[in-house]
Amino acid sequence: MKKLTLRSRLTLLTAAAVAAAVAAVALASWFITRDQLVRQLDSTLRATAASVNPRYLNDTLDNCQSTAQTSGNLPPSTVGIQIVKGDGSRCIGAGTTPVKVQASDIEVAAGSVHSATHDARTDSGQAVRVSTEPLFIGPARASGLALSVSRPLSEVDKPLTTLAWVLLAVAGIGVLGATSAGLWIARTGLRPVDELTGTVEHIARTEDLSVRIPVEGEDEIARLGKSFNAMTSALASSRDRQQQLIADAGHELRTPLTSLRTNIELLERSEATGRAIPPEDRRALLASVKAQMTELAALIGDLQELSRPDATPTLHVVPLHEVTTTALERARLRGPDLTITADIAPWFVRGETSALERAIVNLLDNAVKFSPPAGRVDVRLHDGRLTVRDHGPGIPAEELPHVFERFWRSPSARSLPGSGLGLSIVARTVQQSGGEVTLTPAQGGGTLASLLLPGAPTAPPDGPPAFGGRGPAT
């Protein structure tokens, strides 16, 4: 059965189910018909017994014979009439078929039971139906005597045999029809599955994720088709993002690697030719190599961060104010000529300490990078909202929708160091912690970065808090 195709199994199961149903109906019909025919035959026997001529019964008793007797030239009748005595003997009616006496017939003659109806056999072995009742001659019952009337069971068996053949033929036709219908239903019902199979095989063969399955209706097959289309769409989008990430990463890595190669070749040529590079140029060259190595290491770190799975990480209670303070210390080292003001209130959130610190450092680095010399950066943390405001040139309105895209850099920032991944990492980290981040133009010039995380102003006594709101816990 397991080696058969699904279509063949459905066809066989449909045919088997219909065959079982037809067989059950046929058997029930046969038994009901047999019961009705036997009841009708019993009723006929009782009516025959009631209509027997009393003179005929007197003649049978007066001329009692235990074997068949004929009446004139008439052949024996199919109806058997005989008188049964209490001692088990019998008197056969003239022109009728003799039937073997049963114990129930004797009991009726003896008065033990009122009547008896049963199957029996004639002296010649023919199966008959017998009805035995007390014998009445006139108004009085004859003591110790009973009247047995019989008819051949062939009157029931022949119609039943004919009915059995008819039911068998109907059942056979029904099973053949059910098999044909099951095959048609299987083909029709599994056509979407065949289309799905063909599409899967095509995708496996060609890796073409743009193929879609036509979906009609709202049944289970339609739901399967919609789910498959959604899956292929997600796979195609994931592959496109992967290819774009690889292309963008290759493009971003090419610049620092080219610069490193050029600088190292200059140093190597100087050593090979014996012509020393002036000390100031050599120091500048080595500083450039160091800066490019730092930029390359930062880019690789950003790529590693973005390559992590998108699944929600394990979160724990993090003091956001402490993380912000640590990030501020790093930012002050990177912009020693800048004035960085801080107004930080306690706030506890659920997240990853290292990821949140990296996100805040990226926001501060972005502000330091675009701040003018001797400028000011304002940092404020209150009620779960962290704002970083710089006084730089700001971001044009048409560029704001792209600031959180991977490797996107505004035309004015392409000459500055950076990979274009910092804000993408910020957005991803904040989203995993259940918060949101925005960049908007600040009043008076510059850019305002706003990071909002759900949490509470106090740490829970035991275990992580049930952070659910945007503001302070109550």
Mean pLDDT score of the chain: 79
> 231 with 225: CB under 8 angstroms?
no
Average pLDDT over residues 236-256: 69
Beta strands 339-344 and 376-382 are parallel
What is the value of pTM for the model shown?
A: 0.45
pLDDT score, position 251: 59
Residue found under tokens 């009609």:
216
> 52 with 45: CB under 8 angstroms?
no
341: enclosing H helix or E strand = strand 339-344
DSSP 111-134: TSSS-EEEEEEBTT--EEEEEEEE
For the domain spanning 220-306, the CATH number is: 1.10.287.130
Question: The tokens of 312 are what?
Answer: 């929600």
* Nearest C-alpha neighbor of 59 from the set 92, 100, 89: 92
- Residue 158: pLDDT over 50: yes
Average pLDDT over residues 393-408: 70
- Residue 384: pLDDT over 80: yes
pLDDT band at residue 2 under the 50/70/90 scheme:
low
Q: What is the dihedral of CA 178, 179, 183, 184, to 10 degrees?
A: -30
pLDDT by residue (tens digit) across 349-376?
Answer: 988 887 888 888 888 888 888 888 888 9
pLDDT score, position 80: 87
Do 220-306 and 316-456 have matching folds?
no
Helices (H), 52-190: 54-62, 103-110, 154-189
Average pLDDT over residues 447-474: 65
* Nearest C-alpha neighbor of 301 from the set 362, 368, 243, 366: 362
Average pLDDT over residues 71-92: 75
Q: How far apart are CA 457 and CA 197, in angstroms?
A: 56
Q: How far apart are CA 178 and CA 190, in angstroms?
A: 17
- Residue 417: pLDDT over 70: no
Q: How far apart are CA 331 and CA 326, in angstroms?
A: 9
Between 466 and 149, whose confidence is greater? Answer: 149
pLDDT by residue (tens digit) across 83-128?
Answer: 998 888 999 888 888 899 999 989 988 888 888 999 999 888 889 9
Question: The tokens of 313 are what?
Answer: 């990480």
Q: How far apart are CA 446 and CA 389, in angstroms?
A: 7
pLDDT band at residue 22 under the 50/70/90 scheme:
confident
Share of the chain above pLDDT 70, in %: 82
- Burial (CB < 10 A; 0-12, 13-18, 19+), residue 269, is exposed
pLDDT score, position 386: 93
Question: The tokens of 81 are what?
Answer: 């009439």
pLDDT score, position 407: 55
- Residue 26: pLDDT over 70: yes
Rg (CA), the chain: 52
Average pLDDT over residues 16-20: 83
The architecture in CATH of the region 6-68+78-159 reads 2-Layer Sandwich (3.30)
pLDDT score, position 409: 54
Between 328 and 306, whose confidence is greater? Answer: 328
What are the beta bridge partners of residue 319?
Answer: 348
Beta strands 140-152 and 316-319 are unpaired
Average pLDDT over residues 115-142: 87
Q: What is the dihedral of CA 54, 55, 60, 62, to 10 degrees?
A: 120
Instruction: Name the residue ranges covered by the structural domains of the chain.
Output: 6-68+78-159, 220-306, 316-456
Lowest-confidence region among 189-203, 396-410, 439-453: 396-410
Average pLDDT over residues 54-62: 85
pLDDT band at residue 415 under the 50/70/90 scheme:
very low
pLDDT score, position 469: 41
Amino acid at 298: A
Average pLDDT over residues 53-75: 72
- Residue 467: pLDDT over 50: no
Torsions phi, psi for 261 (to 5 deg): -65, -40
pLDDT score, position 123: 86
Average pLDDT over residues 421-446: 81
- Residue 60: pLDDT over 50: yes
Average pLDDT over residues 265-293: 81
pLDDT score, position 296: 75
State the CATH class of domain 316-456.
alpha beta
Question: The tokens of 135 are what?
Answer: 């014998």
Lowest-confidence region among 71-75, 260-264, 383-387, 399-403: 71-75
What are the beta bridge partners of residue 318?
Answer: 349
pLDDT band at residue 379 under the 50/70/90 scheme:
very high
pLDDT score, position 307: 62
Average pLDDT over residues 232-237: 83
